[in-house]
Amino acid sequence: MTTMKHDVIDDFKTQLRGELLEPGDTGFDEARKVWNAMIDRKPAMIVRCLGVADVMRSVAFARDHDLALAVRGGGHNIAGSAICNDGLVIDLSRMKSVRIDPDGHRAFVEPGVLLSEFDHEAQAFGLVTPLGINSTTGVAGLTLGGGFGWLTRRLGLAVDNLLAADIVTADGKLLHVNEQSHPDVFWAIRGGGGNFGVVTMFEFKLHAVGPEIFGGLIVFPFEQAETVLQRFRDFVLTMPDELAVWAVLRKAPPLPFLPADMHGKEIVALAICYSGAVADGKRAIEALYTFGTPCGEHVGPMPYEKWQQTFDPLLAPGSRNYWKSHNFSTLNNEALQTVIDYVGKLPGPQCEIFIGVLGGQANRVPADATAYAHRDAIFVMNVHTRWDDVNEDTPCVAWAREFFDVTTKYATGGVYVNFLTEDESSRIKAAYGVNYDRLVQVKGRYDPRNLFRQNQNIQPPA
């Protein structure tokens, strides 16, 4: 970039409807920030695209000038793949259109849309598609990696509800992909991440859920963790698809429904979302109260949009984050005791271990139906280490890595690609599982020079 002539950059600017930012420009430093404050990269240019034409021209410019290329949607990815050093960032955050077709149960979503923005539009009609658990997450990145959350047991993953997409490939062309048109690319983007191009429009199938669900939190003291986790593990294997229950182990934040003397102490919280008839919710979860003696609860009917935002304060941007994750088909008592042991030595008050539960519709889809391959995963455990002071980097990262190492023997070997950090390139094949070789072939057909490599990268054939 330092040798690129100013007239070349100026000519590029004239081709854009959006804004091109360079170092020193007003807004540049803010535009290069992402959710994870551990990521501090300095691109040479950021193009804030306003439409497909900007994306096409930006892809062609990066390709023709052999620039490193990153693509930003919501900027929420733990690995910070939305930003590169020295190259070009295609920033899609201003492409925020959401069009709902309530009669056809379809949603047409641009790549800068966040979950909260999608939910706002879809819930106006009492409709949803299964996405994540944090409303500040970008729809695009979450979907391209698979996408699971509170509705996954009932409705499948985000990729199971993706009907079509528009994608700009490495040759700068726009393709409309679905089961009939370019089916190989359509298959690959449903779990293969951003390896195949820049998606400029997603078409989702919608389902009737909301505007209210039955949900909330039941919190148990940490000394009951062994019994609670064992009963939780057994219960979720037979619960109805309409019910999602995740376990979160951490130090208690100052929640108003918890006694003050519990604040800052280790707890086990069961996070609950029942998307069946609200009147049936209380009966659907009554067994959870028998897992132990709760020290607090906040459960009942609530707007689906509000539930989707419940964990936003614990995942706000600007903190330093490091994750390690495993998939499990089962969790034996020894594995659960290991979880308890490590929660007993959390390195900071914002750190946690959560156990997400899949199963249901997510596991009824064949492993090769989409690029997301981990249809054997019942439990997804994420070690979420979070802190603010750079001096805490070493102990926090060390704790996460140590816990990950001692639980590896219980895991399937698979991992959710959206949970991989930037230092886990050795796990890329595990992330794509049995579909990796097929993904390599699609990569070779559509991106043989590996232009789209700022990601959990699938390298094309030599």
Whether residue 137 is found in the same domain as residue 167? yes
> Does 178 lie in the same domain as 164?
yes
Residue 453 placed within a domain: no
Whole-prediction pTM: 0.96
For residue 268, give the CATH number of its domain. Answer: 3.40.462.20
**Residue 5's pLDDT is what?**
82
Give the CATH number, domain containing residue 136: 3.30.465.10
pLDDT number for residue 61? 97
Residue 280 shares a structural domain with residue 296 = yes
Q: What is the 3-state secondary structure (H, E, C) of the chain?
A: CCCCCHHHHHHHHHCCCCEEECCCCCCHHHHCCCCCCCCCCCCCEEEECCCHHHHHHHHHHHHHCCCCEEEECCCCCCCCCCCCCCCEEEECCCCCCEEEECCCCEEEECCCCEHHHHHHHHHHHCEECCCCCCCCCEHHHHHHCCCCCCCHHHHCCHHHHEEEEEEECCCCCEEEECCCCCHHHHHHHCCCCCCCCEEEEEEEECEECCCEEEEEEEEEEHHHHHHHHHHHHHHHCCCCCCEEEEEEEEECCCCCCCCHHHCCCEEEEEEEEECCCHHHHHHHHHHHHHHCCCCEEEEEEEEHHHHHCCCHHHHCCCCEEEEEEEEECCCCHHHHHHHHHHHCCCCCCCCEEEEEECCHHHHCCCCCCCCCCCCCCCEEEEEEEEECCHHHHHHHHHHHHHHHHHHHHHCCCCCCHHHCCCCCHHHHHHHHHHHHHHHHHHHHHHCCCCCCCCCCCCCCCC
My answer on whether 404 and 439 are in the same domain is no
Tokens standing for residue 377: 């995963």
Number of domains in the chain: 3
190 and 310 part of one domain: no
Q: Are 183 and 234 in a shared domain?
A: no
- What is the chain's pLDDT, residue by residue, as a tens digit (462 residues)? 556 788 899 999 999 999 999 999 999 999 999 999 999 999 999 999 999 999 999 999 999 999 999 999 999 999 999 999 999 999 999 999 999 999 999 999 999 999 999 999 999 999 999 999 999 999 999 999 999 999 999 999 999 999 999 999 999 999 999 999 999 999 999 999 999 999 999 999 999 999 999 999 999 999 999 999 999 999 999 999 999 999 999 999 999 999 999 999 999 999 999 999 999 999 999 999 999 999 999 999 999 999 999 999 989 999 999 999 999 999 999 999 999 999 999 999 999 999 999 999 999 999 999 999 999 999 999 999 999 999 999 999 999 999 999 999 999 999 999 999 999 999 999 999 999 999 999 999 999 999 999 999 999 998
| Two tokens, residue 399 | 């704790």
> Do 380 and 318 sit in the same domain of this protein?
yes
Query: Does 452 map to a domain?
Result: no
- Is 458 contained in some domain? no
Same domain, 263 and 404: yes
294 and 417 assigned to the same domain: yes
Same domain as 439, residue 400: no
* Residue 173 belongs to some domain of the structure: yes
Q: Domain of 53: which CATH number?
A: 3.30.43.10
- Please state whether the peptide bond connecting residue 211 to the residue before it is cis, i.e. omega within 30 degrees of 0: yes
pLDDT of 1: 55
Q: Cα 210 to chain center, whole Å?
A: 22
- Residue 91 class from Cβ within 10 Å (0-12 exposed, 13-18 middle, 19+ buried)? buried
Domain that holds residue 275: 212-425
Would 56 be classed as within a structural domain? yes
* Distance from chain centroid for Cα 307: 17
* Same domain assignment for residues 418 and 440: no
Judge if 221 and 307 occupy the same domain.
yes
- The pLDDT, as a whole number, for residue 185 is 98
- Which residues in 230-254 are b (16+ Cβ under 10 Å) and which e? bbbbebbeebebbbbbbbbbbbbee
Q: Domain ends where: 66, 91, 116?
A: 91
The reply to whether 390 falls in a domain is yes
